[in-house]
């Protein structure tokens, strides 16, 4: 491979055959300007593309690499989640997402992500107990909510409240102590449903509901969200199962923007509550976790099947910033495996709720059909992603659109905290500090204000 550089000539990268023969694969970089060569080791994972180890590149050659958006950069070593975007494969600790969604439950998946293995019966009982007994939040934290406007977006509240947890749980902020790291992980997984449900209750002016220990994780969240103190609340097993499945499908997704944010924040030694608050902020954007909210808005705006071609045309127009929400993915260049499970869950939920005429479903299905046949989308390998159907399910379950991303944050917390823990426990971990290609002014002298034209 030859990389042309107008300023310094060319860098030639070639496979180092002698290094490969010795069992230590490497590539050789040749600087066209000076003729100097540099050997870069090639590291192999258990599966997936090999990576060129450039950690010593700058020190030895004086070059940085340039990769905005990190499209070709592996920023860490990880054993948690594997994605093959071309084949549409997603594995957690080696287990396919389809099997986990069908056969497992969210608590098991949390244990798996955190500890690396599925729990035994006794480990599962103990883990569920640990999570259950951490679901309440400090009473003073509840008072914190009253500082927000009632119409605040739940994600705005969650950024603030989750960040504030570090002010309440001082006994689990020492990141050097493995036990404190585990307690913080349990606390975050346990309290997130309470925090998200409270954000919702606050926005509609209803009293906060305390968690109930006899309920499962998903049931408890539905209870705290939709229950009221003056009436008994009974779980609907199909909806609880669907909620649990939605949590599983969102539990982790390798080094995406929010996870990388959590790792970057944590790389400086920041406490886990602050790091997860940073992840929530990153997730909020419409290109990431905010997409399911945007999908529903888009489907409502389309309004009728007849108007789909008009929106597809707009999505293809480079002068129009409109994109088909719920379509495309940085990594998946095939059908997102989570989207398939989500589509099935969508039918189950609508069926169980007796919703025969959900007006947005036919629009979504027709949009998917048209886009999957359209040359523009086919060429660019743009398929529906996890968010395409999740909004319809959540709407049917009665969640307001503004809660969609909050639900995503709730479910992703286990992924974030597992990745954070893995990073802290990695002896090679360093503070994240990317470099840049500077294109601004070089040094110039200060000009007093009266002398500036």
Please identify every residue annotated as catalytic: 329, 387
- Letter string b/e over residues 31-46, b meaning 16 or more CB atoms within 10 A of that residue's CB: beeeeeebebbbeeee
Contact 193, 221 (CB under 8 A): yes
Q: In the complex with ligand CMC, which residue's Cβ is closer, 174 or 320? A: 320
Q: In the complex with ligand CMC, which residue's Cβ is closer, 225 or 256? A: 256
- Please tell me the distance from the alpha carbon of residue 283 to that of residue 186, in angstroms, as a whole number: 21
Segment 311 to 370, residues that bind ligand CMC, using CB under 6 A: 315, 323-330
Task: Using alpha carbons, select from 383, 346, 350 the residue that is nearest to residue 368.
Answer: 383
Min dist CB 21 to ligand CMC, Å, is 37
Min dist CB 310 to ligand CMC, Å, is 14
> 198: Cβ–Cβ under 8 A, 6 or more apart, which residues?
137, 142, 145, 161, 208, 224
Min dist CB 192 to ligand CMC, Å, is 17
Q: In the complex with ligand CMC, which residue's Cβ is closer, 128 or 387? A: 387
Min dist CB 127 to ligand CMC, Å, is 26
Select the span of 21-29, 155-163, 283-291, 358-366 touching ligand CMC (CB under 6 A). 283-291
Angle at 130 between CA 128 and CA 132, to 5 degrees: 65
Interface pick for ligand CMC out of 259, 385, 390, 413 (rule CB under 6 A): 385
Q: In the complex with ligand CMC, which residue's Cβ is closer, 107 or 295? A: 295
Q: Which residues are 13's β-sheet partners? A: 29
Nearest residue to the partner ligand CMC, using Cβ: 328
Task: Using alpha carbons, select from 61, 66, 59 the residue that is nearest to residue 33.
Answer: 61
Burial class of residue 275 (count of CB atoms within 10 Å of its CB; 0-12, 13-18, 19+) = buried
Task: Using alpha carbons, select from 332, 422, 433 the residue that is nearest to residue 77.
Answer: 422
Q: In the complex with ligand CMC, which residue's Cβ is closer, 321 or 442? A: 321
Report H helices in 22-153.
57-61, 97-103, 106-115, 121-132, 139-145
Min dist CB 289 to ligand CMC, Å, is 5
Min dist CB 50 to ligand CMC, Å, is 22
Q: In the complex with ligand CMC, which residue's Cβ is closer, 329 or 395? A: 329
Q: In the complex with ligand CMC, which residue's Cβ is closer, 240 or 282? A: 282
Is 114 a residue that touches ligand CMC (CB under 6 A)? no
Is 291 a residue that touches ligand CMC (CB under 6 A)? yes
Min dist CB 246 to ligand CMC, Å, is 13
Is 386 a residue that touches ligand CMC (CB under 6 A)? yes
Segment 410 to 439, residues that bind ligand CMC, using CB under 6 A: none
Is 248 a residue that touches ligand CMC (CB under 6 A)? no
Segment 144 to 183, residues that bind ligand CMC, using CB under 6 A: none
- Please tell me the distance from the alpha carbon of residue 390 to that of residue 254, in angstroms, as a whole number: 20
Interface pick for ligand CMC out of 33, 287, 355, 378 (rule CB under 6 A): 287
Contact 253, 81 (CB under 8 A): yes
Interface pick for ligand CMC out of 126, 362, 380, 434 (rule CB under 6 A): 380
DSSP 305: G
State the number of binding residues for ligand CMC (CB under 6 A): 20
- Letter string b/e over residues 197-226, b meaning 16 or more CB atoms within 10 A of that residue's CB: bbbbbbbeeeebbebeeebbbbbbbbbbbb
Min dist CB 434 to ligand CMC, Å, is 18
Contact 224, 209 (CB under 8 A): yes
Interface pick for ligand CMC out of 181, 186, 263, 288 (rule CB under 6 A): 288
The CA distances from residue 223 to 70, 210, 213, 234, in Å, are 40, 9, 11, 8
Is 383 a residue that touches ligand CMC (CB under 6 A)? no
Q: Which residues would be at the binding site for ligand CMC (CB under 6 A)?
A: 253, 256, 287-289, 291, 315, 323-330, 380, 382, 385-387
């Amino acid at each position: 491979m030859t990389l042309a550089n107008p300023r310094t000539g060319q860098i030639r990268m070639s496979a180092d055959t002698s290094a490969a023969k010795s069992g230590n694969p490497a590539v050789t970089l040749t600087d066209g300007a000076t003729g100097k060569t540099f050997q870069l080791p090639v590291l192999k994972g258990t599966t997936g593309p090999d990576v060129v180890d450039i950690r010593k590149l700058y020190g030895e050659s004086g070059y940085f690499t340039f990769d905005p958006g990190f499209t070709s950069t592996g920023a860490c070593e990880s054993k948690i989640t594997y994605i093959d975007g071309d084949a549409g494969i997603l594995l957690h600790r080696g287990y396919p997402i389809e099997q986990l969604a069908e056969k497992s439950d969210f608590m098991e998946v949390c244990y798996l992500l955190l500890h690396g293995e599925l729990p035994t019966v006794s480990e599962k009982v103990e883990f569920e107990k640990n999570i259950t007994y951490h679901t309440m939040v400090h009473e003073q934290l509840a008072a914190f909510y009253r500082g927000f406007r009632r119409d605040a977006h739940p994600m705005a509240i969650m950024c603030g409240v989750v960040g504030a947890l570090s002010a309440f749980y001082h006994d689990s902020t020492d990141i050097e102590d493995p036990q404190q790291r585990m307690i913080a992980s349990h606390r975050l997984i346990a309290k997130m449903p309470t925090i998200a449900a409270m954000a919702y209750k606050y926005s509609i002016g209803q009293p906060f509901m305390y968690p109930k220990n006899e309920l499962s994780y998903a049931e408890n969240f539905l209870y705290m969200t939709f229950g009221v103190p003056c009436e008994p609340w009974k779980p609907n097993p199909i909806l609880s199962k669907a909620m649990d499945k939605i949590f599983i499908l969102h539990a982790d997704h390798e080094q995406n923007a929010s996870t990388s944010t959590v790792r970057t924040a944590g790389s400086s030694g920041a406490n886990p509550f602050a790091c997860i608050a940073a992840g929530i902020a990153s997730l909020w954007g419409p290109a990431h976790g905010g997409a399911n909210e945007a999908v529903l808005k888009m489907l409502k705006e389309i309004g009728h099947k007849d108007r789909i071609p008009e929106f597809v045309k707009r999505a293809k127009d480079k002068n129009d910033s409109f994109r088909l929400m719920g379509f495309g993915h940085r990594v998946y260049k095939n059908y997102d495996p989570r989207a398939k499970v989500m589509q099935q869950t969508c039918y189950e939920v609508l069926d169980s709720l007796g919703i025969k005429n959900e007006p947005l479903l036919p629009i979504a299905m027709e949009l998917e059909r048209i886009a999957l046949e359209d040359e523009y989308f086919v060429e660019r390998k743009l398929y529906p992603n996890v968010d395409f159907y999740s909004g319809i399910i959540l709407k049917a379950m009665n969640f307001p659109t503004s809660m969609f991303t909050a639900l995503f944050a709730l479910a992703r917390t286990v992924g974030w905290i597992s990745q954070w823990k893995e990073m802290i426990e990695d002896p090679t971990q360093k503070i994240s500090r990317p470099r840049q290609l500077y294109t601004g002014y070089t040094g110039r002298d200060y000009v007093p204000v009266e002398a500036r034209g």
